Amino acid sequence: MNRMPLLLCLALLLTGTLGLSSPAKAEDAPAAEPLLQKPVCRVLVAYHSLTGNTAQMAQGVAEGVRRATGAVAVVKTVETVSKEDLQAADGLVLGSPAYFADVAGKMKTAIDDWNWKMKVDFTDKVGGAFSTGGGQAGGKEHVLISLLLFMINNRMVVAGPLYQDKEGDDKWAELGATAMTGPLDPGVGEKELDAARRLGERVATLAAKMKAE
Amino acid sequence: MNRMPLLLCLALLLTGTLGLSSPAKAEDAPAAEPLLQKPVCRVLVAYHSLTGNTAQMAQGVAEGVRRATGAVAVVKTVETVSKEDLQAADGLVLGSPAYFADVAGKMKTAIDDWNWKMKVDFTDKVGGAFSTGGGQAGGKEHVLISLLLFMINNRMVVAGPLYQDKEGDDKWAELGATAMTGPLDPGVGEKELDAARRLGERVATLAAKMKAE
Amino acid sequence: MNRMPLLLCLALLLTGTLGLSSPAKAEDAPAAEPLLQKPVCRVLVAYHSLTGNTAQMAQGVAEGVRRATGAVAVVKTVETVSKEDLQAADGLVLGSPAYFADVAGKMKTAIDDWNWKMKVDFTDKVGGAFSTGGGQAGGKEHVLISLLLFMINNRMVVAGPLYQDKEGDDKWAELGATAMTGPLDPGVGEKELDAARRLGERVATLAAKMKAE
Amino acid sequence: MNRMPLLLCLALLLTGTLGLSSPAKAEDAPAAEPLLQKPVCRVLVAYHSLTGNTAQMAQGVAEGVRRATGAVAVVKTVETVSKEDLQAADGLVLGSPAYFADVAGKMKTAIDDWNWKMKVDFTDKVGGAFSTGGGQAGGKEHVLISLLLFMINNRMVVAGPLYQDKEGDDKWAELGATAMTGPLDPGVGEKELDAARRLGERVATLAAKMKAE
């Protein structure tokens, strides 16, 4: 259905050919360079973590980002994120533990300032969310939703990690990546890290697509 | 920062030139044609409406879609949407009245079947949501959220309408478009239709961007 | 406005006096009876289930209801719930599988009619919610929230199951009871059924408290 | 487990007997006093406000609380709320502006500490929520939901303000009270204050009911 990428390759091959006929020109036309090599796509993974569980999920997201060709992952706690980090990011994945069924207050305070104080313009950056929490229904998913709405409200586009069954008959996405931790659970598990990786890969792939236009 | 569109134009001019030097080749290479004219981007606006308020908002969304160059809007009630309508759509904007703070049951039943029965693959289509409802806090926004999550779960990317103040200092988006109706309110107002139009334009613009890759 | 507590005191004073002076009259005054013995509290557990997982959770909720002294549980699929069932219920626990991150369309259609067509007045009934779903973050919690908001919008009061750690130092509640099912999970587990039971007990206890006024 | 209704009956029987035989003894039995006169119900209205809009809504909530016979309203900013304030409250109404579609970070940080640091037990207290925000769909309702879930997670029961049409045929509740403010709107309006008052009255009435058991 979408044959544009193919056509683009064709166009690039043709322009590439022109370029090859006079290679010296390459230096004279640096503007054409990004067409010849995939532009670097940067994804910032920003999180809040007290016990290390959310930090562990953040590393999983970063691994997933790096799976996407040409994507670079930067992992930081929200308090250490700078205006430059945010401006340089094509994708942004936010993670918080569930404190009383919503984003940790300290995290929300930090990210509120990204617009209030830092005046960052997030328009069309691609976003995703992850969370951790004790209990089976203690608000981990509500945290995802709050973070996704935060990003939509900041003019971003958002999405979730992709899944499909072994036969490829059934395909779906989830709202983000969550890990159950705390008294009822042994901690961050392999399936939960897998979700984090899928989330990172998804956001990086979409961010590259949005940037490639 | 993003010089890709310019470079793409350059590339297209060059390939265009090649094409012009031997116009007969155009027929031999129909695949290259979309590069010469902007691909048509299609947005499906699908809604459920009993009293006509949500239908009126749907028309507002469609007007907004048509503001985006090259975008085509199709407006249908959810019950009349076909598998072909969904497959042809690059963008999808869903609207429902708030029935007891969530999507109308009849609408949800219809859209559940888009995956269950019609087996439509929504991957990377762009989505947005609108809703109507009596009362100030009767669930209009929760309906938006439910529709956005429905689309994320179906592998789509979602976003909301863009706003900025007169000075352009303050820029934000909203979660979708809502209209207060019912006993406490005169019906769909101009500000509410404006939100619907902004939503349509936003989804069409993003859908074109995703498709153009 | 609310003179019930006062009236109740008056009634108790009168029955108390009668009771002491002529206990045999108790049989002649059935209206006063519930004051002398704990009134029966009825909780309706209504659900939608295709594969049996949500039905299994509904049975867990009913078990929990029966743990509360004097509480009666009635378990029905939403389609078979009558106006009388709803009117007789002091508590209402709703359960749905997550279809694309929200309540199943068929369930929503059925419960929309409880007010639209059956004209049931739910004022001050006590509510709780449960859900099932494949995937770790596929919308199970969003379903809980949608069901809780449905009940709040219908004038009910809502709450979640109670927990505490072994030492009793840490006490909390969850938003409802959820069970992860589907391709990534073996089905309804013991911890998930435990949540369902806690939910049933919680709603029954609160419904008795609200009724006892 | 919950033997209060039975004990209440017993207490009433005893005081009833004492009352009839020797009314002067009432003064000697202060413990029984609350049974003879409606116990005072206290509702704490706690909020965060920068511009004064949320503070204005808080006053509306307090007015509504005072409409309920015997109810006392205490209004405080979240930062000034003490452990004693929280413990003394039978009802709790929380209000926040919408910052990027969720609770203000500073407010969330303050209320996170009510459990973390102050170790308050909120079991069975009655809760409600209000919010303010610029824009039509900028997250005001999501803030209500986040605050309601915060309270459910803290073992409270929650509800929303009651409404009915003039004929009394149609009765409903909303999720809380919201006020649209900011560039597109003149500020807190009369309908919005009316919602705040209804919310206060609703929470106070329910809190009295829960306490009266």
| Cβ-based contacts of C108 with chain B (< 8 Å) | 99, 102-105, 108-109
Q: Which of B145, B149, B171 sits opposite A121 (nearest CB)?
A: B171
Q: pLDDT tens digits, residue range A125-148? A: 999 999 999 999 999 999 999 999
D7 lies within 8 A of chain C by CB = no
Range in A156-170, A191-205, B90-104 the model is least confident about: A156-170
Residues of C in contact with A144 (CB under 8 A): 137
Pairwise pLDDT comparison (D160 vs C1), residue with the higher score: D160
Do C114 and C167 lie in one domain? The reply is yes
CA A59 to chain centre: 12
Spell out which residues of chain B touch residue D184, defining contact as CB-CB under 8 Å. 191
Best interface-test mutation with B: which of C96, C99, C103 has the largest number of B CBs within 10 A? C99
Find, in chain D, the residue whose alpha carbon is nearest to that of B170.
D183
Residue by residue, pLDDT tens for chain B (213 residues) are 344 443 333 333 333 333 333 333 333 333 444 444 556 899 999 999 999 999 999 999 999 999 998 899 999 999 999 999 999 999 999 999 999 999 999 999 999 999 999 999 999 999 999 999 999 999 999 999 999 999 999 999 999 999 998 888 899 999 999 999 976 677 899 999 999 999 999 999 999 999 875
Quickly state the pLDDT bin for C211 (edges 50, 70, 90): confident
Closest CA of chain D from B58, distance in Å: 16
Q: Is the Cβ pair B184, D165 closer than 8 Å? A: no
- Which chains lie within 8 Å of chain B at 3 or more CB pairs, if any? A, C, D
Mode of pairing for the β-strands spanning B157-158 and A102-103: unpaired
A38 vs C29: which has the higher pLDDT: A38
Tell me, yes or no, whether A33 and A59 share the same domain. no
The secondary structure element, H or E, covering residue C84 is helix C83-88
What three-state secondary structure class fits B45? Answer: strand
Q: Say yes or no: B211 contacts chain A, CB-CB below 8 A.
A: yes
Which of B185-189, D25-29, D119-123, D133-137 comes out lowest in average pLDDT?
Answer: D25-29
Of A71-75, A114-118, C178-182, D12-16, where does mean pLDDT reach its minimum? D12-16
Query: Between B140-153 and C140-153, two packed helices, what is the crossing angle to 10 degrees?
Result: 160
Q: How far apart are CA D118 and CA D83, in angstroms?
A: 6
Q: Are residues B66 and B12 in the same domain?
A: no
* pLDDT at res. D98: 98
DSSP codes joined into one string, A144-178: HHHHHHHHHHTT-EE---EEE-TTSS-EEE-SSEE
Question: Which chain D residues contact residue C158 at CB under 8 A?
Answer: 152, 157-159
Res. D186 pLDDT band, cuts 50 70 90: confident
Tell me the per-residue pLDDT of C24-82, one tens digit each, with 9 for 90 and over: 333 333 344 444 455 689 999 999 999 999 999 999 999 999 999 889 999 999 999 99
Cβ–Cβ contact B101 with C under 8 A: yes
CATH number at residue D71: 3.40.50.360
Residues D116, D170, single domain; the answer is yes
**pLDDT, tens digit, for every residue of C142-165?**
999 999 999 999 999 999 999 998
Alpha-carbon distance of C62 to C75, in angstroms, equals 7
How many residue pairs from chains A and D have C-beta atoms closer than 8 A? 81
Per-residue pLDDT of A77-108, as tens digits, reads 999 999 999 999 999 999 999 999 999 999 99
> Residue D53: what residue type?
N
C-beta atoms surrounding B52 within 10 Å = 12
Separation in Å, CA of C142 to nearest CA in chain A = 7
- Split into its structural domains, chain C has a count of 2
User: Do residues A2 and A100 share a domain?
Assistant: no
Do B76 and B102 fall within a single domain? yes
B177 vs D137: CB contact, 8 Å cut-off? yes
Do residues A61 and A156 share a domain? Answer: yes
The predicted structure's pLDDT at residue D178: 98
Q: Which of B102, B136, B184 to mutate to test the interface with D (most CBs of D within 10 A)?
A: B136
Give the one of D101, D104, D145 whose C-beta lies nearest to A150's C-beta: D101
Task: Determine the structural domain holding residue B9 and report its residue range.
Answer: 1-37
Phi/psi of residue B46, each to 5°?
A: -120, 130
| Same domain (yes/no): D28, D44 | no
Do C97 and C182 lie in a common domain? Answer: yes
Angle, helix B140-153 to helix A140-153, in steps of 10 degrees: 100
| Confidence at residue B185, expressed as pLDDT on a 0 to 100 scale | 73
Tell me: pLDDT of C213 over 70.
no
Residues D20 and D84 in one domain: no
- Percentage of residues of chain C with pLDDT beyond 70: 80
Helices (H) and strands (E) in chain D, counts: 7, 9
ipTM: 0.83
Question: Distance from A42 to chain D by nearest Cα, in Å?
Answer: 23
Residue of D nearest to A101 (CA): D150
Say yes or no for a CB contact (<8 Å) between C100 and B109.
no
Whole-number pLDDT of residue C40: 86
| Smallest CA–CA distance from D156 into chain A, residue | A100
Residue A20 has pLDDT above 80, yes or no: no
Tell which wins on pLDDT, C140 or D167: C140
Residue tagged 């435990």 (tokens): C194
Instruction: Kindly identify which residue of chain B lies nearest to residue A211, measuring between CA atoms.
Output: B2
Give yes or no for B152 touching C (CB within 8 A): yes
CA-CA-CA-CA dihedral for B46, B51, B56, B57, to nearest 10: -60
Q: Would you state the pLDDT for residue D104?
A: 98
Both B16 and B121 in one domain: the answer is: no
Q: Measure CB to CB from residue D100 to each of A107, A115, A138 and give the nearest one.
A: A115
Q: How many CB atoms lie within 10 A of CB A55?
A: 17
Nearest Cα of chain A lies from the Cα of C133 at a distance, in angstroms, of: 11
Residues C171 and C112 grouped into a single domain: yes
From the CB of residue A168, how many other CB atoms can be counted at a distance below 10 Å?
7
